[in-house]
Chain A
Amino acid sequence: MIIKLERIKVQTRKSEEAIDITSKVDEVVQKSGVKNGVVNVMTSHTSSGLLVTEGIPCLEEDILTHFSRLFPEDEDYHHRRYLDYDGRLGFNADAHLKSILGGISCMFPIENGKVVRGSRQTIYFMEYDGPLERTYMVQVLGE
């Protein structure tokens, strides 16, 4: 049984954006030497996300636009308060809620050393509170 974990940094450049990380995940799987197993991908943050959808710009825009419609920045959130453990105000409840809605992880099978994905499936790192340097984890398990 092989278990390999890689932490990958990504510098986001906008307040919100969808970043295609599919090839990065493929790369980690190939390097791992695992022929049959699974790969898990997960963001390390609670105001960013990880999701799978068709990889086209119109959908990227729709996701961000409609998540913002569901969780507007100016809504009446309890999170808008001083967070003593952080020494700062929390006013990014919208980003946290988008992260919960869109999800923070995904999993794919590995067969004959390759990630098994549907032809339209693209893996996105979702920034909801940028720009920031972020980290996501790719863990490969198998043999």
Chain B
Amino acid sequence: MIDFHTHPVLIREFVEKYPNYERSARQVFNIGNNFQPLETFFLQMDVAGIEKAVLLPIDCKRARKDAVSSNEQVAELCARSERFIGFASVDPLKKGAARELENAIKKLGLRGLKLDPALQDFRPDAQKVYPVYEAAEALKVPLLIHTGMSWAPETPLERGLPLHLEQPIRDFPKLKFVLAHFGWPWVWEATALALKYPNVYLDTSCLYYDGPKEFYQFVFSKQIPTTVIERSLRNKVVFGSNYPRVEIKNMVHALKNLQLTEGCLHKILKENAERLLGIVNSEL
């Protein structure tokens, strides 16, 4: 099983090594949990039955003074364990961002692009961003982009509107867009984009109130019917936990608690992510 959405923001080993790491976790990302040794990350994966996790940095230096993990830190963690799959993040409004992405993919060995319009402070449909989309498309790496509500401070909700992505989705049909957090609360908009466009995927890393089981039960059976996932989006949804904002095991349990068939669950927890990441080479 693969967790497509984790943030390496509480790694104890990085606190002393990188001077701004703690400030970034506390003030930019806004998380108050204790820093933990890297071993805890693996144990959290183990108890959830997760084999591999996608690590996501966010290059928000321009907008927030510090990055939430850097590409180099992510690459360092990936070098320590094959269980990690690292994504890169670049500031799309920065000159040379496309080249920076190319270097991160080709030289650091990262395998996807992460963007967060709210935390990085840009409009995802702005023409200035297009060179980064072009680069990701040319490099054949997926883009995981924040949609929906963000818990990070000073992040306007409006930046998370899934429909802001419609034009880029249309303009870059070969770039795979993974809309994070299922676009919550705009779940129908995100769902519509995934239904309409072949290059749109959704990750399940949404939890905004109640507990994981209650929240998933509401979103995936009341906000949208479970059958939309089971019948229409079974090849386009990937499991994401948003660890460490939530423990991976709780999100896995919540997903398995839905009325989805074993076959559909297997796709969400493994197959779809493997295809997106190029671990298996098959197009649908």
Binding site for B on A (CB under 8 A): 11-15, 74, 77, 80-83, 85-89, 91, 130-133
Check A133/B33 contact, CB under 8 A, given A81-B209, A91-B212. Answer: no
- By beta carbon, the residue of chain B nearest A77 is B211
A80 adjacent to B210 (CB under 8 Å): yes
Check A87/B29 contact, CB under 8 A, given A15-B249, A131-B40, A131-B43. Answer: yes
- By beta carbon, the residue of chain B nearest A76 is B214
Size band of the interface chain B makes with A: 20 to 34
The smallest C-beta distance from B184 to any residue of chain A, in angstroms, reads: 13
Residues in B19-51 with C-beta less than 8 Å from chain A: 29-34, 36-37, 39-40, 43-44, 46-47
- By beta carbon, the residue of chain B nearest A132 is B40
User: Within the complex, which residue of A87, A91, A133 is in contact with B151, where a contact is CB–CB below 8 Å?
Assistant: A87
Please, could you name 21 A-B residue pairs with CB atoms under 8 Å apart, sorted by A?
A11-B43, A12-B43, A15-B47, A15-B249, A80-B209, A80-B214, A81-B210, A82-B151, A82-B208, A86-B31, A87-B31, A87-B32, A88-B31, A91-B250, A130-B47, A131-B40, A131-B44, A131-B46, A132-B34, A132-B36, A133-B34
B246 adjacent to A86 (CB under 8 Å): no
The smallest C-beta distance from A125 to any residue of chain B, in angstroms, reads: 16
Binding site for A on B (CB under 8 A): 12, 29-34, 36-37, 39-40, 43-44, 46-47, 151, 207-214, 244-246, 249-250
User: Within the complex, which residue of A14, A85, A89 is in contact with B246, where a contact is CB–CB below 8 Å?
Assistant: A89
- By beta carbon, the residue of chain A nearest B152 is A87
CB neighbours of B210 from chain A (8 A): 80-81, 89, 91
User: Within the complex, which residue of B32, B37, B47, B245 is in contact with A133, where a contact is CB–CB below 8 Å?
Assistant: B37
CB neighbours of A11 from chain B (8 A): 37, 39-40, 43
A89 adjacent to B40 (CB under 8 Å): no
CB neighbours of B12 from chain A (8 A): 133
Check A131/B250 contact, CB under 8 A, given A80-B214, A82-B209, A85-B32. Answer: no
- By beta carbon, the residue of chain A nearest B254 is A91
- By beta carbon, the residue of chain B nearest A85 is B32
- By beta carbon, the residue of chain A nearest B29 is A87
